[in-house]
Structure 1
Amino acid sequence: MTACAIEPEAAPEDGAPQSGCTITADGAYAARLAPDGGSWFPERWTLDGPEPYAVPLPGNQPEEPGTEVQPMGDGRVLIHRRAAGRHLFSLLYPTGPGTGELLIGAVECPEEGARLRLLPPAPGGEKAYALAVGRRSSTVWLVAGGAFGPERLAEIPGRCSGGVWLDRTGRLLALDRETGGRTKAVVVDLERAGEVSPLLQIAEGSDDRLLLADPDSGLLLIRSDAPSPGEERLGWGVLGSTLPVRFPECLRLPDCVVTPFAIQPGQVLLPESCGVALRIDGPVGSWVGLWRPDRRQVHHLAAPYGWLAGAGVWTRDGVLQLPCATAEVPCGVAQVAAPSGETGESGDAGGSGGAGPEDPARGEPARPDPPEPVAPRPVPLQQAPLGRLVTK
């Protein structure tokens, strides 16, 4: 499986509880802040068994807005709290009827206006990382899995955002770095003292961000304004390829925001065959799009009832699993088969404790008409290759 790595809807520092859920890189566990009346508490989901199930991990008091949670590979849950300007990290685990808590340590951000958030779950699940962003530089912290508590790993000039893992060892981290008024994706080598290399250099005056990457196939999902200055477009490329980044017209939906959140793993050397799951936000709400780079259109599906929007994971067999939570089924997973055939048809959606994705009685948004098929075409760009990547 491969887990999602998405752009956050609202950073924890904005004062809103963390939405959706976070899934480990292998798809075995998930964690979220679950609602309880007007308060919130951590919850761990187990996804790799016969049926998904949730374990509540409440503390002595409800969690504050801005709290982050992230599942670890051993089933524990990392929690990030803020208190008096300090960022506190602990590991939560079930202990019979209660919740055990192991304090890891704290990180201080003395610079005024500095923000710190967890990065997406690292491959292996043994370590967890955070990104602190200041006015002129950004710092990558190892906040769980180190020998002596939180450890400062690398300081990168410029303000960074995003965060995508490029390999299965947790060594190469891609960040979107803003310098000189432009944002470019770069690679940070965590085993070389944070050595930084360019990753996306599409055009000199463009903003080029990396949204998702699959280590097996090398498929990259990119957002850039290079083909249309003033308008951000969704495109795809292949890590290490000399071919230009492509910006398919079918991913250009008027009045909608299209965000990829999961790539099908296991398609070694076949990036065009990878299923890509899209979250589509439009005037009628949010729904799911399924797409493959070798297809000319997006297959639209109404979101499953209770979908934790923006969260999902593909199996190697091409089944998209979408976590859902409702009052009747607080822990469920809806399953959707990857599109097959030239027309983009998809198998029926099923569920494991969740409603199907096309239940109009439950108030989901109506499925929009798919856009007219338009052949994707390479866009001639100033620098087609994706740049140099340090691999040694």
Structure 2
Amino acid sequence: MTACAIEGGSAGAAATADPEAEPEPEEPVEPAMPAEPAMSAKPGEPAGADGEAGEDREAGQAREARGDEEAEASSTEGDARPHADDAPLPGGFTLTADGAYAARLTAAPGPPGERAWYPERWTLDGPEPYAVPLPLDQPEEPDSQVAPLADGRVLIRRRVADRQMFSLLYPTGPGTGELLLGAVGCAEMTLLPSSPDGRCVYALSAGEHESSLWLVAGGAFGPEEVARIPGRCSGGVWLDRAGRILALDRQEPGGGPVKAVAVDLGRQGEVTPLLQIAPGSDDRLLLADADSGLLLLRSDAPGHDRLGWGVLGSCLPVRFPECLRLADVAVTPFAVQPGQMLMPESCAVALRIDGAQGSWVGVWRPAGRQLHQFAAPLGWVPGAGYWNRDGVLRLPYANGATPCGVALLDAPEDVEPSSVTGRTGGGEGGPEPSGAAATPSVCKPVPLGQAPLHRAARPD
């Protein structure tokens, strides 16, 4: 059982997968990347500093876009604390749901054991991206986590002995302001992805038999426990734009397979099944798009771990595309194109590809059978990025030449047209059919899980 306590504070299944239905032809795909992946501000342009804005230019643009106070903080502190181009980022790189702000832990160059870690906020919705360092009197521990809010403040989680401390950081001229939120008596806790409302941040504390979900920013009285969920939970994917329905990957008390469940925060944490592909399979939800209902998941129901996709509330089965099954690399989705209302098959999906040569970027659409691969910009934090509604992927990066940059990647078009109209693809190289021909046993919007696990008959 998870033992957490506040110590202080201030002021039914839609269609499941048919893993063997209509397999696509295996076509080995070679990573389109050089030995040292690098990409300029726009793919296809030569890498270098000519097309990048320097710190002085960024600060000047920032003054026009955000006001003198934040620009002064960006230029003054940025000069005092140079960016590390080779330092690992222990707290990762997190973005708000709309991609306007990002936050990370970074450090000045120096020996690995002597680096002073501090939070940094990136502003990404202005004329040019710029970074504002948010250091305090004491350096941060490498295991701290940060999360940006829609108002520009940054939440930081610090572990102090057996407690989790939470504060909000914000720029105040040349310095950093801090608002203490409170502490939770818990040995381990993980921040969840930013809430779609941009105002709240949740954290998960997982125990062997019970997991606790905490609202650590955006509440009225500091951190507060909002739900207790039987079993050990992980992951965390938002299913709606209001920040009410959260998907978690849960293992029942006592062990067993991992299944994704939906937690309704508007009903005191009511838990309902979400993914149930096979009785003994591990079914984890990786990404969801609230506009189209597209779900990206990982399951071993086909016999081994595979990436699959489905549609929330649909009667069609989950599909496991062959083009996402690459040898000797790990493929993980990290961003879905928004704004594709009722058109999940047309959404562009960005994927992180990790291999022996490093990490690079993949782009894929459910309607097609093609995985397009691109070199990542030098200094990209693998898995960081977001789409705009026009199908442009924005990849934040930082290196010695560019302390705060965003590379732009236009989503490529597949050779074959989309099958959104419902036409079934025929023949090799055609678009992947959107579902099996057989009618599922349940034809109403319920959680994924009713389609039979056998080869479906394909119409002539």
- TM-score tier, shorter chain, comes to 0.7 to 0.9
Equivalent residue number for residue 80 of structure 2 = none
| Counterpart among 91, 103, 106 of residue 31 in structure 1 | 103
The structure whose RCO (Cα within 8 Å, separation 6+) is larger is 2
Checking the alignment, whether the CA contact within 8 Å between 1:243 and 1:384 is kept in structure 2 is no
Letter aligned with residue 184 of structure 1: K
Letter aligned with residue 148 of structure 2: P
Cα distance in 1 for residues equivalent to 2:394 and 2:444: 30
Cα distance in 2 for residues equivalent to 1:122 and 1:146: 13
SS at 1:191's partner residue? helix
Aligned-residue sequence identity (percent) comes to: 66
**Residue 93 of structure 1 pairs with residue 165 of structure 2:** no
57 and 292 in structure 1: CA distance in 2 versus 1, 3 angstrom threshold: same
Cα distance in 2 for residues equivalent to 1:342 and 1:163: 34
TM-superposed deviation, 1:297: 1.2
| TM value normalised by structure 2 | 0.71
**Residue 75 of structure 1 pairs with residue 148 of structure 2:** no
Equivalent residue number for residue 21 of structure 1 = 93
User: Which string of whole-angstrom CA distances, capped at 9 and with x for unpartnered residues, describes residues 313-346 of structure 1?
Assistant: 00001000000001111100000001114179xx
Q: After TM superposition, list the pairs within 5 Å mapping 1:114-153 onto structure 2.
A: 115-153=188-226
Which protein has the bigger helix share?
2
Cα distance in 1 for residues equivalent to 2:137 and 2:443: 53
Cα distance in 1 for residues equivalent to 2:204 and 2:227: 10
Cα distance in 2 for residues equivalent to 1:183 and 1:386: 25
Letter aligned with residue 199 of structure 1: L
Equivalent residue number for residue 211 of structure 1 = 286
SS at 2:266's partner residue? coil
TM-superposed deviation, 1:388: 3.3
| Counterpart among 265, 269, 289 of residue 190 in structure 1 | 265
Cα distance in 1 for residues equivalent to 2:381 and 2:249: 25
Equivalent residue number for residue 299 of structure 2 = 224
Provide the aligned C-alpha RMSD in A: 2.2
Equivalent residue number for residue 60 of structure 2 = none
Checking the alignment, whether the CA contact within 8 Å between 2:314 and 2:446 is kept in structure 1 is no
Equivalent residue number for residue 359 of structure 1 = none
TM-superposed deviation, 1:283: 1.7
Equivalent residue number for residue 181 of structure 1 = 256
SS at 1:100's partner residue? strand
Cα distance in 2 for residues equivalent to 1:387 and 1:19: 38
**Residue 388 of structure 1 pairs with residue 460 of structure 2:** no
Checking the alignment, whether the CA contact within 8 Å between 2:260 and 2:274 is kept in structure 1 is yes
Letter aligned with residue 170 of structure 1: G
Cα distance in 1 for residues equivalent to 2:240 and 2:344: 15
Cα distance in 2 for residues equivalent to 1:159 and 1:246: 27
| Counterpart among 135, 138, 148 of residue 58 in structure 1 | 135
Q: After TM superposition, list the pairs within 5 Å mapping 1:1-392 onto structure 2.
A: 18-37=90-109, 38-109=115-186, 115-179=188-252, 180-228=255-303, 231-342=304-415, 376=432, 388=446
Q: Which stretch shifts more, 176-185 or 234-243?
A: 176-185
Cα distance in 2 for residues equivalent to 1:205 and 1:385: 24
Cα distance in 2 for residues equivalent to 1:51 and 1:220: 32
Letter aligned with residue 317 of structure 2: P
Cα distance in 2 for residues equivalent to 1:17 and 1:270: 36
Equivalent residue number for residue 40 of structure 2 = none
Which protein has the bigger strand share?
1
Checking the alignment, whether the CA contact within 8 Å between 1:203 and 1:381 is kept in structure 2 is no
Unaligned runs of 5+ in 2: 1-87, 110-114, 418-427, 448-460
SS at 2:323's partner residue? helix
Letter aligned with residue 279 of structure 2: E
Unaligned runs of 5+ in 1: 1-15, 345-371
Cα distance in 2 for residues equivalent to 1:97 and 1:207: 50
Letter aligned with residue 288 of structure 2: A
SS at 2:267's partner residue? coil
TM-superposed deviation, 1:381: 12
Cα distance in 1 for residues equivalent to 2:441 and 2:217: 38
TM-superposed deviation, 1:136: 0.7
Checking the alignment, whether the CA contact within 8 Å between 1:154 and 1:194 is kept in structure 2 is yes
Checking the alignment, whether the CA contact within 8 Å between 2:246 and 2:263 is kept in structure 1 is yes
SS at 1:215's partner residue? coil
